[in-house]
Amino acid sequence: MSTHDELNSSEGTANEGPTHFLKQHIEKDLAAGKVESIVTRFPPEPNGYLHIGHAKAIWINFGLANQFKGVCHLRMDDTNPEKEDTEYVEAIKTDIQWLGYEWFGPVRYASDYFEDFYKYAQELIKTGKAYVCQLTPDEIREYRGTLTSPGKNSPYRDRPAEESLALFAEMREGKHKEGTACVRVKIDMSSPNINMRDPVIYRIRFAEHHQTGDKWCIYPMYDYAHCISDAIEGITHSLCSLEFEDHRPLYDWILDNITIECHPQQIEFARLNPNYMITSKRKLKKLVDGEYVSGWNDPRMPTISGLRRRGYTPGALRKFCEATGVSKANGVIDAGLLEWAIRDDLDSSAPRAMCVLDPIKVTISNYDEDKVENLELSAHPKDESFGKRKLNFTKEVWIDRQDFMEDAPKKFFRLAPGKEVRLRGSYIIKCDEVIKNEQGEVVELICSYDPDTLGKKPEGRKVKGVIHWADVKSSVPVEVRLYDRLFSVPSPEAADENGVVKEFTENLNPESLKVVHGYLEADCAEKLKANPEIGAFQFEREGYFVTDSIDSSADKLIFNKIVSLKDSWEKVK
C-alpha cells in the first residue's frame, strides 16, 4: 500500500501508519469502551491561509480518523469577524482536499452554534457562574494580576444574576458600546493558571460576520466557543497543539458547568516548528500586507498554497509529517527534512529535461550550417516506461555559463580554452576561441566537434566532463524563478549572536528569489503544451522545477525551482 493509501484510506486498520502516543491513547479508549467510534475535527480560524504546521494537524486529525474507521469534521472557528473572510474559508477547503483528505458531512462553522453559545452563557449567569463585567479592557488586564502575583475580583463579580442577564440581553440588542461590557465566567482570580482568572467569554463587536451578517453584535471568545462546538458535534478526541495545554482546564470547566451530554477529551501534541520559517498567521499576513512577498501563495511562503505553487506534492508533505513524528515536547525541525521529502517524491515521478539557465552561445565551426541531427535521450534514467525524449543537434547550441571557465584550474572538468567536454547525449567538443564584447564579457565560444564520439568514447584520450545544452534553433526561451529559503537565519525571531532581537522581517533572505532567462529543450516544451498539468521536471544538474500555476502559459513558459538536487544550503551559507 502506498503512503497516500496508508494515510487516507477509510478502509484502513489501526495497525496502519506510525505508532505514537495519540494513537495509543485512542486504542486504549476504544478497548475500554470509553468511546464506540472516533470523531475528530480540524478547526482552523479563517483568518489567514493554512501553513505547514496546519498540514501536520490535518495529517494527524484526518489520518487518525481514517485509521480507526472514524470521521473527521472540518469546522471553521469563526468567532472573530474582524479578521475573518470567505477568501480564507475557500482556501482552507482547497488545501485540505489537495492534501488528499475529505471531511465528514458539510463544512461546519462555530457561527452555526451562536444561539447555543448565547443560551449556555445565560445558563452560566443564572447558576451564578458568570457575570457581566463593566471594567474597561485595560482595567481587566490590571485586575488579572501577573504570573507571580494573584489577581483581584472585579467589583461587578457579585452583581445579581437578574441584573447580568438583563445587561447581557442589552449587549445583544446593541445598547452598549464596544469595550464597555463583557461576560466573564467566575472561577478563581488567584489561580496560578491565568487562563482561569475569570476569563472573558463574550465581548461586543459591531462587525459584520461572513456567515451571519449583522445579526450579532456580541461574539463568543475562542476558548468558550471551541469546547462547546466540540461537544455539540460529538467529538471524541479534541487533538490540538501544545500551546493549548494551559487552556485545557478552562475547556473542561466550561463543559463541566453547563448542561451538555458530550465531554470531548482534549489532548495536546507538539506543534511543527521548522527552522528558516515562521508559522504565525499574523506574521505571515504582515509579510503579505507589507509586500515582502507577492501574496499568501508566494512560492517562498510556508503556506500550503505557497508550497503547492512552488511544486511540492501532497505525497511529499504527508511524508514530511510522518518523518517528523508525533511528540509531546516542542522542538525544532530541520527544514532540510521537508526538502528531502520532495526530492524523494519527485525522483521517481519527474521526467528529465535539459534547460540552460545562464546561456553562452557555442558555435561549432566544423559542423555543417544546415545539418540537423535527431538524437534521443531517456526521459527517465530509472524508468523505461517514461520513454525517450528527442533532441535536435545543430551548429549552434547554448551551454551554461558556469560550465565554462577561461582560466580554469587543473580539476575543472568542464569547458575551457583548448579543453574538451562532452555535450550530454551527443558529441565531444573542444573550445578553440573565446569571443568577448566591449566590456570584456564572454558572449560566444567557437568550438569544434569530434564526429566519431556520438555514443562512444574518444580514442586515445579521456574526457571527464559532461555538460547539458540546448540547441539554438529549436530550444524554447523560458523564465526561471530560482527560489531559496525565505529567511537567512535558522530562527528568524530569535536573538542574534549579540543578544539582539531583530524584527523578523530584518532576517529575510535577499537571495530568496532570482529571476533568470534561459533555454529549454524543445521536447519538454512540447510535452507541456500537450499536457499543461504534467507536473514537475528534473532539469539535469540543476534541480526540480515546475511551471508556475498562475503566471505560466503556452506562450510564455515560467518555471519555479522546487528544490536543488542536493542540500547545499549549509555549505553555501
Show which residues are catalytic: 45, 271, 281
**Residue 292 C-alpha from the chain's centroid:** 17
**Residue 140 C-alpha from the chain's centroid:** 37
- Positive or negative, the Cα torsion across 361, 364, 365, 368? negative
238 vs 40: CA distance, rounded Å = 6
Q: Which of 415, 414, 418, 412 is nearest to 432 (CA)?
A: 418
Q: Which cell numbers in the block locate residue 528?
A: 507541456
Q: Where are the alpha helices (DSSP H) in 237-331?
A: 248-256, 281-289, 304-310, 314-324
User: Which own/partner pairs from 335-339 qualify as long-range (CB within 8 Å, at least 24 positions apart)?
Assistant: 335/274, 335/275, 335/276, 335/277, 335/485, 336/567, 336/569, 337/274, 338/52, 338/274, 338/312, 339/563, 339/567
220 vs 77: CA distance, rounded Å = 11
Contact 315, 8 (CB under 8 A): no
Q: Which cell numbers in the block locate residue 42?
A: 480540524
**Sheet with 466-467: strands ordered across:** 466-467, 420-423, 428-436, 442-450, 359-364, 396-400, 469-471
Q: What is the DSSP letter of 264?
A: P
261 vs 532: CA distance, rounded Å = 53
Antiparallel, parallel or unpaired: β 71-76 and 39-42? parallel
| Contact residues for 406 (Cβ-Cβ < 8 A; gap 6+) | 416, 417, 434, 442
CA distances in angstroms from 526 to 212, 393, 474, 521, listed in the order given: 50, 17, 11, 9
Give 453-520 as a DSSP string: GTTSPPTT-----EE-EEETTT-EEEEEEEE--SBSSS-TTSB-TTS-B--GGGGB-TTSEEEEEEEE
